[in-house]
Structure 1
Amino acid sequence: MSRIVLPSDFITDCTICVATQVPKVIGHGLEKRSDGVYALLAGVLHENEHKMWLNTSAKRYIPHSGDRVLGMVTSKAGDYFKIDIGSSDLALLNFTSFEGATKRNRPNVKVGDLIYGLIVLTSKQLEPELSCVDSEGRARGMGLISAPGLVLSVSLSYARRLLSSDCKILSELSKQLKFETTVGMNGTIW
């Protein structure tokens, strides 16, 4: 079931399934507060038995913690790389945020390189912070994308559709062609 919601709308079907008492996963565009779940953006609310999320037609990407994004290195500032992820602010990436990186063993990242990373910190007052390792210190596919390829920008809703498990576009395409792709939640595809 889906319905249209506006920012600050209270989502009455809160965070638990009544029958199983299993917590629901709160997805994109929603925020859990002490008294329930609220919409952060205008869009169409979708939910199933395990999760609820909001589909929006936003043109600009708004970073959220836990999003995996693709970005281009625009400059180096001290111990940080500045990454363009398509949001209003450039994201910061510390040089030690790569698997195996230390002060002596720095990654070879240049301006113009493509990075696939995880947003670990967002704030209205600060620039978003990226990391190329998960909480266990493993890259798990994140990091510098050094293979040649094409970078495309698509709408945010199309990128989310490509990342969903029931998307048939990439599976049908893989029957005809051999390819490798990376899709970021920010609407960038490599």
Structure 2
Amino acid sequence: MSVVLPGELIQSQHKNLKLGPGLQQSGDLQGRASIVVTRAGTLEQNTKGNKFWVEGNSRRYVPAVQEPVVGIICARQGEGWRVDIGSAHQASLDGLAFEGASRRNRPNLKVNSLVYARVSLAHKDMEPELECFDAQTRKAEGFGELKGGFLVRCSLKMSRNLIDPNYFLLPLLGSRFPLDAAVGMNGRVWVSAKEVKQTIAATRCIEAADPDGGGMDQTAIKKFIGTLDL
């Protein structure tokens, strides 16, 4: 892990390299390849060494293909919708990009509805495109309209923490009360519990653990939960 700045070059010999946010391919990725850093932050990689990204504690989301996002429906557009995902440009969501959708059978999303979607197209010269199913199975796999619950806004760093299965917070909350959550890589988290006070507690814990907020660790969060009315 190292701090990188825009314009720096990263070298990699991995043949099946995947680039995440903050990096852009330069040249051929077969064999030794050059990767250009496009934003400041810390350079991260997965355990296999085949995926790199730049981790920065920013609230401006840069879409990346296959990343899950929580979007807000802004307007109807032809056979689909315009969706706010917190990036520089709104994304488009086709009415057929849902499990089982057809010309006669498609979701009826209203303005301000929430959707959990996956980025299917992300290019600097084109607007992002979304889909609400798994591209391989064509099944929803948890994607689609999010009904009820509450939308929590957090830093992109916190989103990445929450989507990591080894991160403590969601399992800790789930051990205290039943909780549904949809984590978007765009700094938005949808949470829903049986009782309103539980939903509020989950929201406050996410905000307290956010590096942009309190930055509490597991021990501090456990103590914090003890002060809440559950």
Q: TM-score scaled to structure 1, two decimals?
A: 0.87
Q: How far is the alpha carbon of 1:48 from its aligned partner?
A: 5.1
1:2-41 superposed Cα distances (whole Å, 9 cap, x missing partner): 11111121123x143xxxxx85544332234323233221
Q: 2:63, 2:159 → 1: CA distance?
A: 14
Match of 2:21 in 1: 28
Q: How far is the alpha carbon of 1:107 from its aligned partner?
A: 1.2
Contact 2:21 2:63 in 1 (8 A): no
Unaligned runs of 5+ residues in structure 1 are 17-21
Aligned residues: 182
Alpha carbons of 1:75 and 1:31: their partners in 2 closer, same or farther (altered >3 Å)?
Answer: same
| Larger helix share, 1 or 2 | 2
Matching of residues 22-171 of structure 1 within 5 Å: 23=16, 25-33=18-26, 34=28, 35-47=33-45, 49-51=47-49, 52-136=52-136, 137-146=138-147, 148-171=148-171
Q: How far is the alpha carbon of 1:54 from its aligned partner?
A: 1.7
Unaligned runs of 5+ residues in structure 2 are 191-230
| Larger strand share, 1 or 2 | 2
Contact 1:64 1:119 in 2 (8 A): yes
Q: 2:100, 2:153 → 1: CA distance?
A: 30
Match of 1:176 in 2: 176
Q: SS of 1:161's equivalent? A: helix
Q: TM-score scaled to structure 2, two decimals?
A: 0.73
Identity %: 34
Q: How far is the alpha carbon of 1:49 from its aligned partner?
A: 4.1
C-alpha RMSD of matched pairs (Å)? 1.8
Q: 2:18, 2:124 → 1: CA distance?
A: 24
> Higher relative contact order by CA 8 Å / sep ≥ 6: 1 or 2?
1
